[in-house]
Amino acid sequence: MTSVAVLGTGLLGTAIAKRLLDVGLEVHVWNRNPARLAPLLEQGATAVQELQGAAQGRNAVITVLRDGGVTASVVDALGPLHGTTVMPMGTMGIEESRQLARHVVPNNGHYLEAPVLGSKPQALDGTLLVMAGGDAQVFEEQRPLLSHLCQEPLLVGPVGSGAATKLALNQLIASLTHSFSLSLRLIQRAGVPVKTFMAILRPSALYAPTFDKKLQRMLDHSYADPNFSTDLLRKDLRLFLEEATTAGLQDQGLSGLLSLLEQAKGTDLDEQDYCALHELTALT
């Protein structure tokens, strides 16, 4: 039986672990706060008591952690990797991922970055989008596992390319949400019915499905029960901007959006759904 360790059981990590349990895998789980493991243990997961040695006997170690720094510290705490494959699924910087690979491989491990697009609902039904970066042979070895989470996992290139793809997509989340919020506010203040605006937008080339997914939340100013928080969106946008600077890209427009998101710090918006940035796009 395939044996997997899932390190980090927040919203996404818990859903990934549940999915792997549902398809019959042996799943070992860890969280800095052991109390958060309870639902998974009830479903049949085994708790990882100590990170040291947790890779032994595992076909893969999946990390679903906040950022590259936290991921590196957790992987380092595993000790010898015993030939297992480390697969970070959280968002991290390009060079952070490459540095982690340089740590894993000499430590008798394999490395395949596998960031995902999607959240709890997609993880639970196996429809996440996986953008892997790494060696083609390692990818093929892990394809059966990844296929439990994604209908068609893709190898996008060498280590770093998966991280870059994930950041590029998360930048679109921020930019599309911001632009839709501004457009929505303008037409409302001009007296254009939202229904009329959406009837024009939906059949056009400008339409993105995320607009309808977030429309009612914005109209109701209701952002509870997030799949992805404003805080995490801001963190990922900042990371994208750092990578854009390194790549020599013009980032002036996005810098303004990051400044806008900074206004959510220390407020209730930070822990709410990321489309709560709609609350920041009106001066009054």
One-letter amino acid of 228: F
Task: Please check whether residues 207 and 118 belong to one and the same domain.
Answer: no
Buried b (16+ CB within 10 A) or exposed e, 234-256: bbbbebbbebbeeeeeebeebee
For residue 94, the enclosing domain spans 3-158
pLDDT (tens place) for every residue of the chain, 284 residues total: 799 999 999 999 999 999 999 999 999 999 999 999 999 999 999 999 999 999 999 999 999 999 999 999 999 999 999 999 999 999 999 999 999 999 999 999 999 999 999 999 999 999 999 999 999 999 999 999 999 999 999 999 999 999 999 999 999 999 999 999 999 999 999 999 999 999 999 999 999 999 999 999 999 999 999 999 999 999 999 999 999 999 999 998 899 999 999 999 999 999 999 999 999 999 87
Task: Please check whether residues 187 and 132 belong to one and the same domain.
Answer: no
Task: Please check whether residues 76 and 189 belong to one and the same domain.
Answer: no
pLDDT at res. 283: 87
Task: Please check whether residues 66 and 86 belong to one and the same domain.
Answer: yes
Provide the domain count of the chain. Answer: 2
**Which among 158, 185, 201 is the end of a domain?**
158
Task: Please check whether residues 144 and 197 belong to one and the same domain.
Answer: no
The structure tokens listed for 81 are 């990797």
Task: Please check whether residues 234 and 150 belong to one and the same domain.
Answer: no
Task: Please check whether residues 234 and 96 belong to one and the same domain.
Answer: no
The pTM for the full model equals 0.94
Task: Please check whether residues 213 and 151 belong to one and the same domain.
Answer: no
Task: Please check whether residues 55 and 118 belong to one and the same domain.
Answer: yes
Tell me how far apart the terminal alpha carbons of the chain are, to the nearest angstrom: 58
Task: Please check whether residues 276 and 174 belong to one and the same domain.
Answer: yes
Task: Please check whether residues 176 and 62 belong to one and the same domain.
Answer: no
CATH number for the domain that contains residue 178: 1.10.1040.10
3 state SS of 258: helix
How many CB atoms lie under 10 A from the CB of residue 12? 21
Task: Please check whether residues 145 and 194 belong to one and the same domain.
Answer: no
Question: SS3 letters for 196-219?
Answer: HHHHHHCCCCCCCHHHHHHHHHHH
**Which among 119, 136, 158 is the end of a domain?**
158
- Tokens 């109209």 locate to 219
CATH number for the domain that contains residue 133: 3.40.50.720
**Which among 118, 138, 158 is the end of a domain?**
158
pLDDT at res. 1: 79
